[in-house]
Amino acid sequence: MEKKNIEWAELGFGYMKTDYRFVSHYQNGAWDEGVLTEDANVVINECAGVLQYAQTVFEGMKAYTTADGRIVTFRPDLNGERMEQSAVRLEMPVYPKEEFVKAVLKTIKANEAYVPPYGSGATLYVRPYLFGSNPVIGVKPADEYQFRVFTTPVGPYFKGGVKPLTIRISDFDRAAPNGTGHIKAGLNYAMSLYAIVDAHKQGYDENMYLDAATRTKVEETGGANFLFVTKDGKVVTPKSDSILPSITRRSLMQVAREYLGLEAQEREVYVEELADFAECGLCGTAAVISPVGKIVDHGKEICLPSGMSEMGPVTKKLYDTLTGIQMGTIKAPKGWVVEV
Ligand code: PLP
Ligand code: COI
């Protein structure tokens, strides 16, 4: 199979149309088998549930070329499971996780020519999504749905690659207690757009959201969970019911313990303690681990000792181990790396 002629190393995090996408329809209470199609457009009624009441959930995954030339993806079963949970919370029919994994593998395989080569710094981003497609005007769930998967080759999520980021504590809230912060629903991202555009205007790379009830605890950013490293080398990640249960974060906690022999804690993290940490990073499929150099709390600068020029040493070890597992140079725990 011949690769497409793409400047892989120049890619940013953007959309590029690839050859095939998967689509399955839900009608009369059942999903059809689904097909690969070359048509990248979705045609739906003007009154579709997704357009009027934002009934849509999605996932984000990546396909990698390993050092020995295989194409793999990372823990797709967990994305399938999370999409089931997202669907339930928005009253959508579950697309079964076993079928989800099959559809993802099939779509990656069909777009093999777009999977960036090993060492290029790029990956193939995979976007499964599910939405209400029939007309709905009273506020209620749709009766018909589409599950789709498309792919797009991507480079780093943040411009500048692994250069430490400057983030601010946001006065906007991302998620309410008992709300939808723990699922991957489009609505959580629509409501974050005002805050991210404003953050960029003010010169920040991202927002740090706090818990909406007390505004004393760290939650996450618009698209990634937080990891902190204490001065005595413990890895700490915020525990909250209103953040997305990041698969990257869950994997990194296991990597910290089992590969690096570090203590790793999931616990409440208070704004008050931010100045005590040695390192901070954002973790997620798109972000991988992006180091944070500075957190600004209403004008007060909290400068992480790891500085503004490179990743902190523990963050770097976590990054190297995780990407080594994903690219096949470090032995993966059973079931983490799935060959396409
Ligand atoms: N938090 C939010 C809000 C996200 O959008 C993402 C991205 O998927 C993450 C965290 C990271 O999750 P994962 O590691 O499963 O990609
Ligand atoms: C991902 O990391 O896959 C996401 O969905 C986050 C999004 C901000 C791109």
Task: Please choose, from the candidates 121, 123, 287, the residue with its C-alpha nearest in 3D space to the C-alpha of residue 205.
Answer: 287
* Alpha helices, DSSP H, located in the chain: 49-53, 76-89, 97-110, 186-190, 193-201, 247-258, 313-326
pLDDT digits (tens, 9 = 90+) for 24-39: 999 999 999 999 999 9
User: Which residue puts its alpha carbon closest to atom 11 of ligand 1?
Assistant: 284
pLDDT digits (tens, 9 = 90+) for 259-298: 999 999 999 999 999 999 999 999 999 999 999 999 999 9
Q: d(Cα 64, Cα 112) in Å, to the nearest integer?
A: 10
Q: d(Cα 128, Cα 80) in Å, to the nearest integer?
A: 9
DSSP per position, 227-271: EEEETTS-EEEE--TTS---HHHHHHHHHHHHTT---EEEE--BG
pLDDT by residue for the chain (340 residues), tens only, comes to 899 999 999 999 999 999 999 999 999 999 999 999 999 999 999 999 999 999 999 999 999 999 999 999 999 999 999 999 999 999 999 999 999 999 999 999 999 999 999 999 999 999 999 999 999 999 999 999 999 999 999 999 987 767 999 999 999 999 999 999 999 999 999 999 999 999 999 999 999 999 999 999 999 999 999 999 999 999 999 999 999 999 999 999 999 999 999 999 999 999 999 999 999 999 999 999 999 999 999 999 999 999 999 999 999 999 999 999 999 999 999 999 999 9
Report field, pTM of the whole predicted structure over 0.85:
yes
Distance 269 CA to ligand 1 centre (A): 18
Kindly state if the Cβ of 192 falls inside 6 Å of ligand 1.
Answer: no
Strand partners, 71: 65
Task: Please choose, from the candidates 313, 315, 251, the residue with its C-alpha nearest in 3D space to the C-alpha of residue 282.
Answer: 315
For a substitution probing ligand 2, which of 151, 285, 288, 289 has the most ligand atoms within 8 Å of its CB? Answer: 285
